[in-house]
A = this chain, B = another copy of it.
Amino acid sequence: MDTNLELAAFAAVKNLEAAGLTLATAESCTGGLIAAAITGVPGASAVFRYGWVTYCNEAKERELGVLPSLIEEHGVVSEEVVAAMARGAMRQAGADVAVAVSGNAGPTAAEGEPPVGTVCLALARRGAPRPVHTETLYLPNQPRNVVRNLVAMKVLQLIGASAGQ
């Protein structure tokens, strides 16, 4: 585990704990990296409940309740789909905060897919005025593991900032 990820995960866990919030994760291209960083922090069980690695579309639909029509319409790498993944994870886990990631970390993109390095992420928070924050990162010309680490870092920072508010 990258030291910077460990530090960002530590801050996220401590902020969640101080705020009395629980967390769920739903990951596609980061593939468990965010959950692994969070659960690397001693005492993470006070805040972390459930995580999903929904790598295939069927997993996003069956485990998180993402509508096949949403994936069909917007594509699996879209802010609409990650928002639905985060909402589904928050609901299914009964968590206060949920994050979701879907993207293409490379090395190749199929026809019709967004280019390599395109990653969408979402943070849902129960009862917040703006229920789901979403954004799209574009990190081209990077090796797969660099893309995954940069995205995990960004999401861990978002969790920490959201819980610290």
A49 and B39: CB pair below 8 A?
no
Is A156 an interface residue, CB under 8 A from the partner? no
B42 and A31: CB pair below 8 A?
no
Is A10 an interface residue, CB under 8 A from the partner? no
Interface of A is mostly: mixed
Contacts of A36 in B (CB 8 A): 30-33, 35-36
Contacts of A29 in B (CB 8 A): 39
Per-residue 0/1 for A31-58: is the Cβ within 8 Å of any B Cβ (1 yes, 0 no)?
1111110111010110011111111101
Chain A interfacial residues counted at CB < 8 A: 36
A50 and B56: CB pair below 8 A?
yes
Contacts of A59 in B (CB 8 A): 49-50, 93
| Distance in Å: Cβ of A27 to nearest Cβ of chain B | 8
A63 to B112, alpha carbons, bound, how many Å?
A: 33
Is A118 an interface residue, CB under 8 A from the partner? no
When A39-B32, A42-B107, A44-B31 are in contact, do A55 and B51 touch as well, CB less than 8 Å?
yes
